[in-house]
Amino acid sequence: MGGRRVVVTGASSGIGLALTRRLLAAGENVVAVDRAACPERAVETLIADLADAAALGRALSALTGPVHALANVAGVPGTAPAELVLAVNVLGARLVTEALRPRMGAGASIVNVASVAAHRNVLGEPAVDALLAVADRAGLADWLARHPLTGPQAYDTSKAAVVRWTRALAGRWVGSGVRVTSVSPGPVETPILEDFRSTMGSRRIDHAAEIVGRHGDTDEVAAVVAFLLGPDASWVNGVDIPVEGGLLAARAARETVTADGVMATSRWRDG
């Protein structure tokens, strides 16, 4: 790595800022896309709200030259209205990717930040595919009229959509040399962790830390994203990588399914 141009959305805080600092340390040229300027002076920030397609398009049009990697990190928690959550987490990420894809050649990489919350999505694949086909905010409103969701439900669905979209793009572009992967963090110490306490309940968030010993750190997630963006991950494509300290495995180990389909406490609970 070093000397490439990497675009990072949501680079002003949290995982996006941790990733930006890691990339800068590796000698990369980072361009941020966010509502607020990235605090790192070496970073060029394109100011734009990912929920505003017109403003986003204007900001991205100012970017010239090649793009070697893209990290779609920006996201809105479930404390926001459902339409805004979907507009940023799904439609905004798609608009950025579609705008920058023509600037990306063989060897380029796209990493989308999803979440383990994708497992909580209550909608089936046809509904998620319909969401991924939405082209604008009017389409989002129509989709939500058919699939009413609360803000927290929209967050879960948005992340399930990101994982599914990642796989679809990887399959579509597999012969082009452009890789697409996603990462699904568990609870991470970021400014929006309190939002997740509000939407998911403090007990659930605290219990996750009890199971694996602590919450994650932004740099731990950023390290995985940076690896996937770089050439050392050249044979990793079309997959979602959980970055959650073993939370899902620990939860699975505490429960088993008996022959008649009844959930039972695992004998490995204390192992």
Spatial strand order in the sheet of 44-47: 44-47, 29-34, 5-9, 69-72, 109-113, 179-185, 240-243
Residue 161 confidence (pLDDT) above 90:
yes
Contact between 217 and 178 (Cβ < 8 Å)? no
Query: Lowest mean pLDDT: which of 128-137, 143-152, 204-213?
Result: 204-213
Question: Over pLDDT 70: what percentage of the chain?
Answer: 88
Place of tokens 């209205």: 81
Residue 212's pLDDT band, with cuts at 50, 70 and 90, is: confident
Which tops the pLDDT comparison, 147 or 263?
147
| pLDDT given at position 253 | 80
Active site residue 201: no
Residue 255's pLDDT band, with cuts at 50, 70 and 90, is: low
CA angle 53, 57, 63 (to 5 degrees): 150
| pLDDT given at position 200 | 72
| pLDDT given at position 271 | 28
- The domains of the chain are located at 5-245
Residue 149 gets which letter from DSSP?
A: -
| pLDDT given at position 195 | 64
| pLDDT given at position 244 | 85
CATH homologous superfamily for 5-245? NAD(P)-binding Rossmann-like Domain (3.40.50.720)
CA angle 31, 34, 40 (to 5 degrees): 55
SS3 of residue 20 by DSSP? helix
| pLDDT given at position 211 | 76
Region 194-209: what's the mean pLDDT?
Answer: 69
**Distance, CA of 269 to CA of 258 (rounded, Å):** 15
Region 94-117: what's the mean pLDDT?
Answer: 97
| pLDDT given at position 251 | 79
Average pLDDT for the chain: 90
DSSP assignment string, 110-135: EEEE--GGGGG--S-HHHHHHHHT--
Q: Considering 93, 153, 155, 187, which one is annotated as catalytic?
A: 155
pTM: 0.89
Residue 191's pLDDT band, with cuts at 50, 70 and 90, is: confident
Residue 77's pLDDT band, with cuts at 50, 70 and 90, is: very high
